[in-house]
Structure 1
Amino acid sequence: MGILLGVIADDFTGATDIASILVREGMRTVMSIGVPAATFDVHDADAVVVSLKSRTIPVADAVAQSLDALRWLQTRGAEQIFFKYCSTFDSTAKGNIGPVADALSDALGAAIAVVCPAFPKNGRSVFNGHLFVGRQLLQDSPMKDHPLTPMRRSDLVALMAEQSAHGVGLVPHEVISAGDAAISEAFAAIAATGQRYVVVDAIHDDHLRSIGRAIRGHKLVTGGSALAMGLPANFGISPRTPAETTITSRVPPRTAILAGSCSAATRQQLARAKALWPSRRIDLDAVADKRPVVQEVLSWAKSQPADQPVVIYGSADPAEVEENQAGYGSLQAGAMMEHTLAAIAEGLVADGVGRLLVAGGETSGAVISALKVQGLSIGAEIAPGVPWTTTLSDRPLQVALKSGNFGGPDFFERALDIPA
């Protein structure tokens, strides 16, 4: 028997995000890091999430990796494919959301696919086709200053049309609120015009569940992770009672917090963490000058009390990010920080750290790749979209991968209070 749902996620934090929602909704879910090997064991999974690091790489590479993931999922019998991207539609002017969606829909022969990044519990909603972050339009939110994917427009129909070779329609909130039948009729009408994509409004979870029921049978679904909450029921799956957590030790593993995200949410979380625990900032100029930054940070971490987490970060405010990008180039500045934090993560784990909290999608991807993690099992949810996970390896490591924008100000404190 094959899997029911195959997910292709464009970054690692987003992959754990959607995996945690599927688990909560009752689907047995396995997550792979990169396209799995032929021997990757899915056990009795209903869903497999393939996590890529394809959000900001060249378009051709993102398309190729996504198609490789699709072919692997098809060999395992996936009945529906979900292309998962960020709830703030993170992309550059050239993509990669539109080109990847085009390639997947062409390969699947999908006549129509929804576009819905909404995640109401995290303040992302779509109204009249425009994406809001809290009460702000996307273009007015802190995402406008994202160092790699600055989002300067909020009109999802226009954004998708610019990136895709196909037409894009809209199903507004009045239709969504009218219920499943009205949504299905609107989809059919848009498909009849030859438009391949349909942006759907969604303001609360009931909207997402209605949309989920209406896309039963769609070959391709695209959107943020919250849209997945309505899909397991289409396969006859309902939420299971969570198993009780068995605590085998009262002594938590040594813990490190690594932050590369420059989002406003992560900077606020860091401000609280630095007031509570030992912290060390990565100096990008020192990295560029090839000083022994990694060795110095690891030596400092070793000297800290083992019963306290250490906080290691490269996060900066928008003005400093702009200055770094001007001096080193936007891609190079980000890559230097990611590689440094990844090397520090390797050293920390070698020194006995058994629990990592990583903030930032690009940083998470770099850390997981450096640690050569092949797969993750999904554990307790810390905040909407952010679960604890455990690496599938001979020496299991507890890992939480947090999108930069996710979580409240006390996220790190909450995480440490929740058994993985």
Structure 2
Amino acid sequence: MASSLILAALADDFTGAVELAAMLRSGGARTRLVVGPAAIPENIGDDQALVVALRSRVAPPGEAVAAAEEAVEHLRPHQPRMLFLKYCASFDSLDTGNIGNVAEVLHRQGAPAPVLFCPSFPEAGRTVFRSHLFVHDQLLAESPKRLDPLTPMTQSDLRRILAPQTSLGVGALPYERVLEGPDAIRRHALAEQAAGRPFIIADAITEADLRSLAAAACEWPVLTGGSSIAAWLPQAWVTKGWMQANRPPSLPPIHGPAAVLAGSCADRTREQVVEFARRHPVLQLDPLAPEAESLAHALAWAAPRLEQGPICITTSADPERVAAAQAALGAIPAGRRAEALLAALAEALVRQGVRRLLVAGGETSGAVVGALGIRDLQVAPYREIGVGICHAAGAVPLALCLKSGKLGAVDMFQRTLEEMETSL
């Protein structure tokens, strides 16, 4: 029997995986989210889209490539029509990867075809013109992303960012061709491929542009980008007759104590912590303090407060404190240390009865999901930018919001925890 799977996606962090799955579900595709390649099921059932959450964004390149290869191997029996690589809308990566190198893994799996790279996310103010990425009205290299502690983005031309990450030629799809529609997009992309440039940066400014790009690329074996272009794929599949439009089922409410764990040092997360602190207790942890000491202190602080309402525990810090931690430990080790602390806290808090958990930061979310032993998630349909709510499969009911550090309304912490107690 032929598999029903139309799309299999690899997401380079957990918040992106939840966002992608939510958008696919909102488009009517029956979608499953699993954690890591080993969680890809042998029986896909009637799912039309499968999202595999990885922690590959800042992993060593060899590790990221190995995870992608393992995922592809597990996916092979399901024969998905398309493989999709989901990365951040600000193209977060380093010269060594992990966008171009992982895209090569996917590119090798099917017949030769162009591969579009489309991080544009108009709702979040991320757009691409002349292959340059803009964050609202700033070029990427002039935006706050230039100060990112893990992936400082100091170049705005996506061709120059992608080229060092791949052995394949990098081309461009200009805005004029995008405006002409799917047929013109396909012709231009095929010409770029014939000229030795199969990896193609796609200009896109509006949702209409993304719709055209999705329609143009839906029959090619590989597509890469943010969740925003993937949101238009189900519509293209309905047009092709590959699926019927479906209304996504809602998730049931979950009640119980609630907590926020904030590990991102993005400006937006720190603003959200400040807003949450106006009504609820917040504990700031020192990322340089011994982990056992911080863990014991945080749990003792949380215990008498959980029954009174939601709490927040954070390792988020301003750029000066982040720089000090990185100077003492190194950039990646400093981040991993904070993630490990918050992951251990999550595990302990769930044991103490927490049933609604909001985690801020993609890498932190990955660490928390790993510590909780979660392998399969039910994702609510997409609601708003930066807010992805899901339920963890298992004996203990647990509602999670895994959010990007850079996104979400300033007041989203309290509001999202309240929404978890309603049907989603």
Q: Is the 8 A contact 1:115 1:199 kept in 2?
A: yes
Residue 90 of structure 1: SS of its match in structure 2? coil
Asked if 1:376 corresponds to 2:377, the answer is yes
* Match in the other structure for 2:179: 177
Distance 1:380 1:107 in 2: 30
- Mark the CA change 1:91 to 1:260 in structure 2 (over 3 Å): closer, same or farther: same
* Match in the other structure for 1:332: 333
Runs of at least 5 residues in structure 1 that lack an aligned partner in the other structure = none
1:98-125 per-position Cα deviation (integer Å, ceiling 9, x unaligned): 1111122123343310011111111111
Q: Is the 8 A contact 2:15 2:388 kept in 1?
A: no
Residue 401 of structure 1: SS of its match in structure 2? strand
* Match in the other structure for 2:348: 347
Superposition pairs for residues 244-259 of structure 1, below 5 Å? 247=253, 252-259=255-262
- Shift, 1:311, TM fit: 0.5
Residue 75 of structure 1: SS of its match in structure 2? helix
Q: Is the 8 A contact 1:20 1:385 kept in 2?
A: no
Residue 306 of structure 1: SS of its match in structure 2? helix
- Shift, 1:386, TM fit: 2.9
Superposition pairs for residues 182-201 of structure 1, below 5 Å? 182-201=184-203
Q: Is the 8 A contact 1:383 1:411 kept in 2?
A: no
* Match in the other structure for 1:322: 323
Distance 2:384 2:399 in 1: 16
Asked if 1:364 corresponds to 2:365, the answer is yes
Residue 195 of structure 1: SS of its match in structure 2? coil
* Match in the other structure for 1:276: 279
Distance 1:179 1:371 in 2: 45
* Match in the other structure for 1:240: 246
Distance 1:326 1:336 in 2: 14
* Match in the other structure for 1:414: 415
- Shift, 1:343, TM fit: 0.4
| Range that drifts further, 32-41 or 323-332 | 32-41
| Range that drifts further, 189-198 or 209-218 | 189-198
| Range that drifts further, 268-277 or 229-238 | 229-238
* Match in the other structure for 1:214: 216
Q: Is the 8 A contact 1:169 1:190 kept in 2?
A: yes
Which residue identity does 1:264 align to in structure 2?
A: D
Residue 7 of structure 1: SS of its match in structure 2? strand
Runs of at least 5 residues in structure 2 that lack an aligned partner in the other structure = none
Q: Is the 8 A contact 2:129 2:205 kept in 1?
A: yes
Distance 1:239 1:125 in 2: 28
* Match in the other structure for 2:73: 71
1:321-365 per-position Cα deviation (integer Å, ceiling 9, x unaligned): 111111221122111101000000000000000011000011001
Distance 1:311 1:85 in 2: 28
Superposition pairs for residues 11-410 of structure 1, below 5 Å? 11-37=13-39, 39=41, 41-236=43-238, 237=243, 239-243=245-249, 247=253, 252-287=255-290, 290=291, 292-410=293-411
1:233-284 per-position Cα deviation (integer Å, ceiling 9, x unaligned): 332246533546655x7xx321000000011111111110111111101112
Q: Is the 8 A contact 2:28 2:246 kept in 1?
A: yes
Q: With structure 2 as the length reference, what TM-score do the two structures score?
A: 0.94
Q: Is the 8 A contact 2:25 2:381 kept in 1?
A: no
Which residue identity does 2:196 align to in structure 1?
A: G
Extract structure 1 runs of 4+ deviating beyond 3 A: 36-43, 237-247
| Range that drifts further, 362-371 or 238-247 | 238-247
- Shift, 1:312, TM fit: 0.5
- Mark the CA change 1:394 to 1:340 in structure 2 (over 3 Å): closer, same or farther: same
| Range that drifts further, 62-71 or 291-300 | 291-300
Q: Is the 8 A contact 2:148 2:266 kept in 1?
A: yes
Residue 115 of structure 1: SS of its match in structure 2? strand
Distance 1:165 1:380 in 2: 37
Distance 1:406 1:40 in 2: 34
- Shift, 1:414, TM fit: 2.7
When the two structures are aligned, how many residues end up with a matched partner? 415
Which residue identity does 1:283 align to in structure 2?
A: D
1:276-325 per-position Cα deviation (integer Å, ceiling 9, x unaligned): 111101112223xx552112111111110514111010111112111111
Which residue identity does 2:195 align to in structure 1?
A: T
Distance 1:291 1:394 in 2: 28
Distance 1:105 1:62 in 2: 15
RMSD: 1.7
Identity %: 39
Q: Is the 8 A contact 1:212 1:230 kept in 2?
A: yes
Q: Is the 8 A contact 2:250 2:381 kept in 1?
A: no
- Mark the CA change 1:112 to 1:310 in structure 2 (over 3 Å): closer, same or farther: same
Residue 271 of structure 1: SS of its match in structure 2? helix
- Shift, 1:413, TM fit: 2.8
- Shift, 1:416, TM fit: 2.5
1:60-85 per-position Cα deviation (integer Å, ceiling 9, x unaligned): 11001101111222211211000111
- Shift, 1:161, TM fit: 1.2
